[in-house]
């Protein structure tokens, strides 16, 4: 099992009060995979925030939730509100991380961004949608790529 998998099992074991080895055996492959993916996603979001801050973005919110969905990172760069989707992949077998932001996901992001703007009374602001793609190698090395203005909003969505 990977280091991340061990950490997940240790956290589950700690919460359950049982030895980590017993917990690891009991976790199904699917549950263990979800837990590892969840850990990868959280780590990826942390890495994305650090990189965006290094580039001058002001991080306003993380994991913003509305009835319409969730936005991983809400940031501001100069006078532009930036809504960021973070996608991390351990292997290319499931495709490139940036390709996972499908049309349906884009529409959900747009609706959630509109909810954020309304909730925070942000009117007449420039907005854009960025995607941060994180690739994790076998040795747990990560490469991060920021796709600024990753997609446009079709006029019929407005």
- pLDDT tens for 44-92 read 899 999 999 999 999 999 999 999 999 999 999 999 999 999 998 876 6
Neighbours of 153 (CB within 10 A): 16
* pLDDT confidence of residue 64: 97
Provide the domain limits for residue 126: 3-157
pTM above 0.75, yes or no: no
Question: Could you tell me how far CA 76 lies from the centroid of its own chain?
Answer: 17
CB of 98 closer than 8 Å to CB of 147: yes
Indicate if the pLDDT at residue 2 is higher than 90.
Answer: no
In angstroms, rounded to a whole number, what is the distance separating the alpha carbons of residues 90 and 97?
9
Q: Is the model more confident about 139 or about 122? A: 122
* pLDDT confidence of residue 39: 52
Number of structural domains the chain divides into: 1
**Angle, CA of 101, 51 and 130, to the nearest 5°:** 30
Check which CATH number belongs to the domain holding 107 and give it.
3.40.1350.10
CB of 89 closer than 8 Å to CB of 134: yes
Condensed to tens digits (0 to 9), the pLDDT of residues 8-32 reads 333 333 344 444 444 444 444 444 3
Average pLDDT over residues 122-126: 90
């Amino acid at each position: 099992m990977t280091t991340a998998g061990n950490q997940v099992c240790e956290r589950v074991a700690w919460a359950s009060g049982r030895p980590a080895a017993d917990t690891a055996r009991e976790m199904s492959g699917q549950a263990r995979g979800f837990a590892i993916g969840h850990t990868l996603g959280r780590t990826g979001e942390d890495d994305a925030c650090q990189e965006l801050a290094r580039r001058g973005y002001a991080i306003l919110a993380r994991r913003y939730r509305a009835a319409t969905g969730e936005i991983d990172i809400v940031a501001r760069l100069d006078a532009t509100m930036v809504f960021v989707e973070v996608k991390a992949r351990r292997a290319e077998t499931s495709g490139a991380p940036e390709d996972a932001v499908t049309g349906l996901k884009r529409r959900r992001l747009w609706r959630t961004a509109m909810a954020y703007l309304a909730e925070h009374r942000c009117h007449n602001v420039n907005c854009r949608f960025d995607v941060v793609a994180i690739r994790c190698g076998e040795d747990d090395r990560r490469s991060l790529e920021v796709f600024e203005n990753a997609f446009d909003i079709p006029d019929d969505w407005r």
